[in-house]
Amino acid sequence: MALNDQEVEKQIRHMMNFIQQEATEKAEEIDAKAEEEFSIEKGRLVQQEKMKIMTVYEKREKQIDLQKKIQRSNLLNQARLQVLKRRDDSVEQLLKEARSHLSRITQNKKQYQELVKQLIIQGLYQLLEENVTIRCRKEDVNVVESSLDAAAQVYYDGTKKEVKMKVDKENYLGNDVSGGVELVAQGGRIKVVNTLDSRLELISRQMIPEVRMRLFGVNPSRKFDF
């Protein structure tokens, strides 16, 4: 049965509407898929950039933390060095004051003469020589000469050996020496220094740990005490 023009036009419109509808749906499907892919790619890129930023941030944070630790360590070391220097300065000042008091010992003639005798005796025991020359300050010649016999007797009582001593009146101890004596034997090849300054130096080396402990207390970082 042949279709008239009106029916043909109607069929054509129907087909065109169907095609248009299908095209619209396909376009919407494509748009939706594209939007979904865009969202996924956008999320991936955003996450990737976030990871990059976090990595850079964590790296920077570690660098800052390391710098802080280094700076803190340097400050602690500087503080320790300053404390140690101040402690050493305090001990040195104490020793300086002790040296300044050495001259007071010589002012008490009786006490100083006994000390000189003991210093000579100690030197004799160290030398164990038959002939000994005593060096002293020029102002101490009388004190030393008046101590020789008594010192020789004590030495003889202890060793059963006689010793001959004389004071060197050509080579006196310097003005920087606070007192005491030097004992020389075998033409100057052997010498025992028993000046007040040398004795203080010896004692100070032995007592510095104890002095530090009394002044500043026990060092918490020290594991052993000797």
Convert the pLDDT of each residue in 6-61 to its tens digit. Answer: 777 787 788 888 888 888 888 788 888 888 888 888 888 888 888 888 888 888 88
C-alpha to C-alpha distance for 45 and 74, rounded to whole angstroms? 43
Q: What does the pLDDT look like over 204-218, one tens digit per residue?
A: 776 666 656 665 566
Question: What letter would DSSP give residue 130?
Answer: S
* Annotation: CATH topology of 108-208: hypothetical protein PF0899 fold (3.30.2320)
Contact 203, 212 (CB under 8 A): no
Tokens at residue 49, please?
Answer: 């950039």
Ordered alpha helix ranges (H), 101-192? 102-107, 109-127, 141-159
What is the residue extent of each domain of the chain? 1-100, 108-208
**pTM of the predicted protein model:** 0.54
